[in-house]
Amino acid sequence: MKFARLAEDYFKRAMIRVKSAELAYSEHSYPDVVRYSQECVELSLKAALRAVGVEYPKEHDMSRILKAVKDRFPEWFRREADKVGEISRELADKRSPSLYGIESVGKTAAEIFNEKDAEKALSDAKYVLNIVNKLLSELRIV
């Protein structure tokens, strides 16, 4: 099945992103932690959507589509959908500033994101990664 292969690939790449976020954290590169965590969440949720046969929108925030197709997921995942959707929305909003800063006001990414921001982003990414891992395991994709 094409969707299963895509879901597996996205999930493997999401796992690499969380490892990259951990490395960035060890190097005190907090904006990079936020960026890699966002990519981990995006890839994880796109893997979950592919696993249930959903074509996702070509954007970074998966919260709206998760809400729209909630019924395609097992009950336990539906209970998590609002929380993982909120994580997706929050991190998608930080995607660009975590890479470029806010040029219009002359703030670098390092001036915007601190250790606390990085810890939350990484914790959220791991949470979503674990939820999606459970889903993909249950569906026998990973």
Q: What is the band of 98 on the pLDDT scale with cuts at 50, 70, 90?
A: very high
User: What pLDDT band is residue 111 in, cutting at 50, 70 and 90?
Assistant: very high
Query: What is 2-138's CATH topology?
Result: Four Helix Bundle (Hemerythrin (Met), subunit A) (1.20.120)
Q: Which residue has the tokens 């995006």?
A: 42
pTM: 0.96
Mean pLDDT value of segment 91-113: 97
